[in-house]
A and B are shown apart, each in its own frame.
Chain A
């Protein structure tokens, strides 16, 4: 499987990351190397194998539908890099 620099740039946008030219070159090299290694799995025939998402047999762990105290708005907002009394603040999403 080949992985080009253009692919990596596209993945970087999906991952909400940004690399400069030098970083892009380096991460492409590393990703090619790792993808080649993990391709080892294609040696195995897994046609009739059930995928295993995690190690427990638990299917659904449901909690009782009861209301409990939650964090106050103040506590929730206190770690936000930018907020006012009520909201998280982000740059404008729509045009000016």
Chain B
């Protein structure tokens, strides 16, 4: 087995014992990227030079016996939405093509102090809005299991680079399913932490009450390892919660006794692919054989999740993205063109307002503009109560469904997506069909609970299927331990796509 097929946990042991160096490991990934990346397109930028410099520094410090961090010498890929000082951070948008943040996101600081090697920036739907990574302003990402299909999104690059062995660990963000859905479609593990568990400082905002940063990896154990580094209170994020961080990477191996899993009947209603339904039901049976008790639970408002989400998320986005005004940072429309346009249509709106409008219409892609429009509409005079306020109330009902469920069960078990990875272009002209991709994932964001996606099977045509487990706020430890139990009993996580 080549070094890049080992897990991050195994690589760390080899680094510690001196059997490999970080430079060797980093070089092995860079050469894999060189070979495979043209077919996958998971990265927006590969930072070979700085990665090798960081790796050499870790090796040097190890050599002289310094105490090193938890990820010392292991490469990590970062979704291009996390600000990194003096390094371009584009958010998959033309708007931020030339943006070079003057500070680091807290999670980037945490990776650096854990002595991780930052390999590069992964592709994503523009401003994290999308479920296929087709909304990237730069290039699409292909699903490593079938390159005619999408990898999911918005963290499509983050999931694809793991599944194609181009990185052992990666960081994604999840606002409505953007870590869990691509993890499911690419056959890797992805965790969306509880809202407030990981600092959002330096995460370019999409919908601030829903966004969370989380880890992706090939195994649950590696996910736990990265989560341990990311979690924790940060005074720079006022929504970050000050509660102790468990040693996830250690406790992950302790199976849970007397585990009760809740199954939501609506999850298996009309619309779910029969192969997905069968794989998820088989996974439930696996848990039963491991001693878990299965209970049917009601989530009466689950069916309202998408409608609630597609009011709240666009409202927050329209407000957050108002900052892209062509004046402070980012793209700006050409001044002569602004004046020519004004002269041509005889408008009296003035050069400043027209500069804003032209800048934003040229700098943002169609999906981002659509969501800004929806949010602006829903927040505008006369519609606020009917849309935004109504959605906030239904959000409360969804949270109450979760609170009631977690009074009865430890975790909720179900599918991540209704269908396996779809063909490129299949849903790009139908926004509503794309939005329904998030059916099983958005409610966790609305309620602020934790969720994980892990491999639980394959379709007959060889596409990965994901299993979702959801836990009450700050119960990531339980989630990871339960996921590890499943991984111990199955081998879906060991299969790899054929790529060359």
Contact = CB atoms under 8 A, between A and B. Distances in A.
Given A61-B238, A71-B102, A80-B327, A91 B373 contact: no
B346 to A, nearest CB: 15
B66 to A, nearest CB: 28
Interface in A13-41: 13-19, 27, 30-31, 33-35, 37-41
B373 A38 contact: no
Interface residues of A, number: 52
Nearest to B300: A44
Interface of chain A, helix or strand or loop or mixed? loop
Given A53-B209, A81-B332, A27 B373 contact: yes
Interface in A47-69: 49-56, 58, 61, 63
B315 to A, nearest CB: 11
A91 B332 CA distance: 11
A41 B328 contact: no
B138 interface: no
A17 to B, nearest CB: 5
Given A8-B373, A40-B307, A55 B390 contact: no
A93 B241 CA distance: 43
Nearest to A62: B238
Interface string B323-339: 00111111110010010
B308 A41 contact: yes
A81 B335 CA distance: 11
Nearest to B326: A81
Given A42-B390, A90-B355, A92-B352, A79 B329 contact: yes
Shortest 8 CB-CB distances between A and B: which pairs? Answer: A55-B448, A51-B392, A81-B332, A61-B238, A79-B329, A91-B351, A54-B209, A46-B393
Given A34-B374, A54-B239, A55-B447, 12 more contacts: A1-B386, A8-B373, A13-B357, A31-B370, A51-B389, A52-B393, A52-B399, A56-B239, A80-B328, A81-B332, A88-B328, A91-B352
A41 B370 contact: no
B422 interface: no
Given A18-B358, A90-B355, A91-B335, A79 B310 contact: no
